[in-house]
Structure 1
Amino acid sequence: MEVLTKTVIFRLNGQEYGVNINQIRSIERMEEIVPLPQTSDFIKGIINLRGSVIPIIDLRTRLGMQEMEATEQTRILVANVQEITVGLIVDDATDVIDIHDDITEDAPELVKGIDYQYLKGVAKIEDRGLILLLDLDHVLNHEEIEEVKEVAE
């Protein structure tokens, strides 16, 4: 039996990525981020989102890409990562689509400089090309999760 996964599609550096919609709580416009001293460079700070303090991670920086100024299209994906809520800055959140398991393949060890440990796989979609499927639970290692938890407290 074929499995469908609802997937949020977003862009980083011109490449489309997908993440399981079950990990995404909301998609927000970019807003003022309160910077925090003495945190890793990919932790941009915190925001107050409807009464909750959310740590913000620049996904470009985390994945080793060049940092970019926010634009009108920049979004924050509010996501559950290893049982904590974080905001992930992405260039643009474009779509929610169904991805069939028969069009996905395991990720090669290196895709455009992205370490394969962050990827669940690659989806080949006729009219879109390749979509890299991120595994949000592996985007941060144990020490980084602990640092993000401290920021959120």
Structure 2
Amino acid sequence: MFLTYIMTMTRQKMLIQKKIIHFIETETVGHKLEIISLLTQKHYHSGRKVFVSVPSLEAQKYIDQLLWSSPPESFIPHSSSSHERVMIAVSPALPNETEVLINLSPAPHAEAHQFSYIYELEDKTSPQKAQQSQVKRQSYTQLGYNVLIHQGIPD
């Protein structure tokens, strides 16, 4: 039993070490919303399933409205259930076969290792949020992830 646990943890750590967490710098609320919208569009149009993890029902409703209205010329079909390719949820439960995580929650996502693409916002809209972003980066690094910081959306 103990040996099985050790083997499972070792395999999970090996998976984590290969994963990259992309932190995208944002300095205004408008820029944060633009990044969320552009990331979602990019992966949606590439045919990937996207999971937007939010900290509250209020945030879920806000992001829901954002994706219905931005950009104005097109909307991204999404829901709070796993029926659409884009899911917005407070729940840590993961939709099946989802490749992309956009984590808007204040803590690192516990299941980040299950995604192919992992995004966090390097939120510089206030000193408190900048500190929170730094703590998240350090947490991911301590867990064995590779962390990259970008000034725009990575290719």
- TM-score for both structures, normalised by structure 2: 0.24
Higher relative contact order (CA 8 A, sep 6+): 2
- TM-score for both structures, normalised by structure 1: 0.24
> Which structure shows the bigger proportion of residues in helix conformation?
2
